[in-house]
Amino acid sequence: MARMLIENIRLVQPDGSLGTGSILIEEGKIAEVAGESYTDLDAERFDGGGAVALPGFIDVHIHGARGADFMDDDSIAAQTIAAALPAEGTTSFLATTLTHSPERISKAVQHGRRFMENIEQGAEMLGFHLEGPFIHPDQAGAQPSMHICKPSMEDLQKWFGDTLADLKIITMAPEQDPGFRVIRELAEHGVIVSAGHTTADYETLSQAQSAGLSHLTHYGNAMRGLHHREIGVVGAGMLNEGLFCEIIADGIHLSTDMLKLAVKVIGPDRILLITDSMRAKGLPDGSYTLGDQDVTVSGKEAVLSDGTLAGSVLKMNEGLHQLRMSAGISWQDAIKLSAENAARRLGVFNRKGSLDQGKDADIVLVTDDFGVRYTFCRGRMSFAYDQNEDVPMD
């Protein structure tokens, strides 16, 4: 792969300001980040048009996009999704499963692993986020309740092998795990255990945290809310500093006031922006499916027939724009929420999550309101906007 110099860009400085600079890419890695361009360099030159350079976004909770879902019994679903994600600045992701039959989950893992072995272009799959089936029926949300079952290491090892290779995050209801035996084993294997679709109260959640739970799935949704006599899982996310909180910043799953409160109280160091998007992302309004359930998509909202939210159609860059408008996040906050925190959580900060020398050249060039102009995945240009089709965000 030839050397490329991305010049005429703005870089986020240590003090949070923007300064002009350039990034030199060699063999898919960041070779140098400079405060100025080079006059004499043997490299292909790329004009960034004054855009802001950010590390590629990492989405740790995504089900689908462009008509495909990771639960599809289809070897090209992951490829379709990975090809679509650079348009929103996403360069890495966790394939997220849904509560379903053991056979269907097993097939999803097999398809995903085959894709991981042959990634060449598009966003990189870093592993799996298993959402369900070990959740509470009373907080099933859009998860198919008929397939909910009790936590089982045996099932997990059937799907992922004895070492649970490639399983990075599991969403489960801790109150369904007596003595938190499964949570302890998962934590010992290095799997991030996340509470979600749960009826747990604050005390139960805190006990599970002592056993190894460290994460909250789509914070505020499908969990016990904040009450002045029982602060629930939402209160735990605010109070317990060892908990990391996923947020869907579409203004629907969390109100704009709640987004502002979360950023202010929890802080940007413990929040991970996610999309939780389903197959309708990037497609027109209409009827789609999620886990064999019919979903109606209208505007920014995806719902089941009874009005239950069924994931989202959010894009990562849109989430950052919403957070800027709602909570006034800085450029440094944006980097943490969309890339750095996820990279650290997944143990890949040595190669992703920042624009530092030696790391993968996962780079997104955005406008001041987070409109994506160009995305590079491991040094390859994977998205370039078409000015004729570009639609500014609200």
Q: Which of 69, 72, 177, 276 is catalytic?
A: 276
Task: Give the number of other CB atoms < 10 A from CB of residue 21.
Answer: 21
Q: Identify the pLDDT of residue 389.
A: 59
Q: What is the Cα–Cα distance from 66 to 76, expressed in whole angstroms?
A: 12
Which region, left, alpha or beta, applies to residue 245 given φ > 0 means left and ψ of -120 to 50 means alpha? beta
Q: What is the Cα–Cα distance from 113 to 334, expressed in whole angstroms?
A: 30
Q: Identify the pLDDT of residue 388.
A: 58
Name the DSSP letter for residue 98: -
CB 313 within 8 A of CB 278: yes
Q: What is the Cα–Cα distance from 259 to 218, expressed in whole angstroms?
A: 12
Cα–Cα nearest to 63, from 249, 291, 250, 245 = 291
CB 275 within 8 A of CB 323: no
Q: Identify the pLDDT of residue 2.
A: 78
Cross-strand bridge partners of residue 286: 297
CB 36 within 8 A of CB 192: no
Q: What is the Cα–Cα distance from 62 to 78, expressed in whole angstroms?
A: 11
Name the DSSP letter for residue 247: E
β 293-298/301-303 pair status: antiparallel
| Residue the block writes with tokens 């909250």 | 216
Known catalytic residue at 292: no
Q: Identify the pLDDT of residue 285.
A: 96
Sign of torsion over alpha carbons 266, 268, 272, 278: positive
- Alpha-carbon distances of 132 from 52, 71, 102, 139, 146, rounded to whole Å: 38, 13, 11, 11, 12
Q: What is the Cα–Cα distance from 222 to 225, expressed in whole angstroms?
A: 9
Q: What is the Cα–Cα distance from 101 to 337, expressed in whole angstroms?
A: 33
| Residue the block writes with tokens 């290095």 | 190
Residue 227 makes CB contacts below 8 A (sequence gap 6+) with none
Which portions of the chain are predicted below pLDDT 70?
1, 37, 39, 387-394
Residue 309 makes CB contacts below 8 A (sequence gap 6+) with 141, 142, 221, 252, 253, 301, 302, 303
Cα angle at 284 between 112 and 88, to 5 degrees?
55
Task: Give the number of other CB atoms < 10 A from CB of residue 378.
Answer: 25
Residue at 111: amino acid letter? H
Q: Is the pTM of this model over 0.85?
A: yes
CB 92 within 8 A of CB 58: yes
Q: What is the Cα–Cα distance from 26 to 29, expressed in whole angstroms?
A: 5
